[in-house]
Chain A
Amino acid sequence: MKISRQDVEHVALLARLELTETEMENYTEQLNSVLEYADKLQKIDTEQIKPTAYALPLENVFREDEVKPSIDRDTGLNNAPDATDGFFRVPKIV
């Protein structure tokens, strides 16, 4: 197995996901099968090839640094699971 169970646990933590025991097993197997398939790419010589991030050749798409209107605070809080005093309230950080 290329990707171990520890790897999967580590990746889950990075992705802020918690997996059940069954999910852990399934994902380890499925990820391995996809990654094994993705190893095909290692066969190609891409030494001299530049990566394509976007198909459209656009760079540095800027606008003038002018303040423009944005959504007002009350509207922005409308979908909040917990909003108080104009803030998004969350459980303690530490």
Chain B
Amino acid sequence: MDISYKTAAELRELLQSKQLSAVELTRTYLEKISRTDATIKAFVTVTEKEALDQAEQVDKKIKQGLELKPLEGIPMAYKDNICTEGVLTTCCSKMLETFVPPYSATVAERLQESGAIMLGKLNMDEFAMGSSTENSYFHPTRNPWNTDCVPGGSSGGSAAAVAADEVVFALGTDTGGSIRQPASFCGVVGLKPTYGAVSRYGVVAFASSLDQVGTLTQTVTDNAMVLNAIAGYDPRDSMSARFEKPDYTKYLVNDVKGLRIGLPKEYLGDGVSEDVQKVIRETVKTLTDLGAYVEECSMPHTEYVVPTYYLIATAEASSNLARFDGVRYGYRAEDAEDMIEMFIQSRAQGFGAEVKRRIMLGTYALSSGYYDAYYLKAQKVRTLIKGDFEQAFKEFDLILAPSTPGPAYKFGEKTDPLAIYLHDIYTIPANLAGLPAISIPAGFSNGLPIGIQFLAKPFGEGLLYRAAYTLEQNTEFHKVKPQLKEVL
């Protein structure tokens, strides 16, 4: 049976009807990983034994004729900054190269509870700092659509693994676009939920007011199914929201009639490649043909988005990464003569260049004499950026935006840190304003995928899914898959 690129929804049907056993399914995916991942390198740790054990449990349940939960038996993997008890969680950093967490993140507990099968941990930019996965301590991950190109980042392993059908779905994290940008580069669906909708407990913190765990899948339907499993209040995350959690699959309706969609004029300037502009135009046409109203809107503070983010995120990161000091866990430098020297050496040796750069920037922004001019100022501008969206949502139900200024670029092509930071301009606003946002496949450029984004009001994931599902069902992009044969 050819089960390549089957969705969670389809696989559940096959499992329940006993056309396929959970062990066979897991084995098939493990074999795929061992073939494809030699080139793609999306994985950092593969948990073969644990996966097969879990699959056996699912098969027992099927034999007993019990009904499977929606994700039961479905193979998946976690970005390696999500703690999984007893399984290496490295954040792709030398600092945590041997770290085995004594507990699991809430999202991992919830997915385990849902019966999904963990195949392992996925590659990322070190401590989630980067946009190409080139900053991983271990190795880069290759884009399945063109192995000379980056998969994006920081959840590059997650996006590539889904695109290469090494997993049915993956979890990633998104602080400034780290799910949506790689989703766009790899032609998959990537959702960043509303800030507070998904628990950050057990997720190694980068920037606490911006981080969110999110979902990477092949289809919008699968995405809603996974969000169902992980979203919801968690008392162990102090910024977890209490909200009426819906069944997100109820929003998978093929209808955008009457929806008012705003397209910010500031998002379509010079920096956007002609290919992306074309994809936006075509998306607008598809949506209006289907009865939606798409009009220009304005986000006047767009030009301040990148500096605001890089001051806030790095400041918060400098604080969050202070815990890595060689004392209780992680890398410890040898031969330090006193404790301060141990701190300094462990951190100097354990952290990579980008991480050090951001810690330096954040420390400076928070330091005495500069705090007001940098960090506090950025927090105030953040209010204004959030205000742009509040204003727009008075008139519009959704915002349409590019996901990235262009398709995936080649390894080593971008080396200037500032140029890389500027590339995040379309994804950062949703993090600063705490809004839910989704990237879905919307076109191609020389064989490389291009995604577009929808943003909604807080807790508006339902509307995101409705628009994304409609666009998906009325286009063919999600049916196109990378030519992996040349990879194997």
Contact = CB atoms under 8 A, between A and B. Distances in A.
Interface string B170-189: 00000000000000000000
B332 A51 contact: no
Contacts of B330: 79, 81
Contacts, number: 173
B377 A11 contact: no
B113 to A, nearest CB: 20
B376 A91 contact: no
Given A11-B363, A55-B434, A76 B384 contact: no
Contact of B373 (A14, A42, A55): A42
B338 interface: yes
A66 interface: no
B356 A23 contact: yes
Contacts of A56: 195-196, 239, 241, 434, 458
A43 B345 CA distance: 39
Nearest to A28: B360
A7 interface: yes
Interface in A54-90: 54-56, 58, 61, 63, 71, 75-76, 78-82, 88, 90
A17 B339 contact: no
A23 to B, nearest CB: 7
Contacts of A55: 195-196, 209, 386, 432-435, 458
A18 interface: yes
Contacts of B318: 15
Interface string B41-71: 0000000000000000000000000000000
A82 B332 contact: yes
Contacts of A16: 322, 325, 340, 343-344, 347
By DSSP majority rule, is chain B's interface helix, strand, loop, or mixed? Answer: helix
B448 interface: no
By DSSP majority rule, is chain A's interface helix, strand, loop, or mixed? Answer: loop
Contacts of B343: 16
B99 A31 contact: no
A67 to B, nearest CB: 15
A92 B340 CA distance: 9
Contacts of B432: 55
Most buried by B among A11, A50, A55, A88: A55
Interface string B382-398: 11101000000000000
B338 A58 contact: no
A92 B383 contact: no
Contacts of A12: 360
B87 interface: no
Contacts of B386: 52, 55
A32 B260 CA distance: 42
B168 interface: no
A1 interface: no
A94 B344 CA distance: 15
B272 interface: no
A72 to B, nearest CB: 9
A44 B382 contact: no
Most buried by A among B98, B378, B432, B435: B378
Given A52-B379, A53-B209, A92-B339, A34 B102 contact: no
Contacts of B342: 90-91
Contacts of B337: 91
A11 B308 contact: no
Given A34-B361, A53-B379, A81 B332 contact: yes
Given A34-B361, A54-B195, A91-B338, A41 B344 contact: no
A56 to B, nearest CB: 4
B348 A17 contact: yes
Contact of B102 (A37, A38, A46, A75): A75
B311 interface: yes
Contacts of A42: 373, 377
B374 interface: yes
A58 B239 contact: yes
B239 A61 contact: yes
Given A54-B209, A58-B241, A82-B332, A8 B196 contact: no
B131 to A, nearest CB: 15
Interface of A: 3, 7-8, 10-12, 14-19, 23, 27, 30-31, 33-35, 37-38, 40-42, 44, 46, 49-56, 58, 61, 63, 71, 75-76, 78-82, 88, 90-94
25 contacts: A7-B364, A11-B360, A11-B367, A16-B344, A17-B348, A17-B351, A17-B360, A31-B361, A37-B306, A41-B381, A44-B381, A46-B383, A46-B384, A52-B379, A55-B432, A58-B196, A58-B238, A58-B241, A79-B99, A79-B100, A81-B327, A81-B329, A81-B331, A91-B338, A92-B339
Given A34-B361, A81-B329, A93-B339, 15 more contacts: A12-B360, A14-B363, A17-B356, A18-B347, A33-B417, A35-B361, A40-B304, A44-B301, A44-B384, A52-B379, A53-B209, A55-B209, A55-B435, A81-B331, A90-B326
Nearest 8 Cβ contacts at the A-B interface: A55-B434, A51-B379, A81-B332, A79-B329, A46-B380, A38-B307, A18-B348, A15-B363
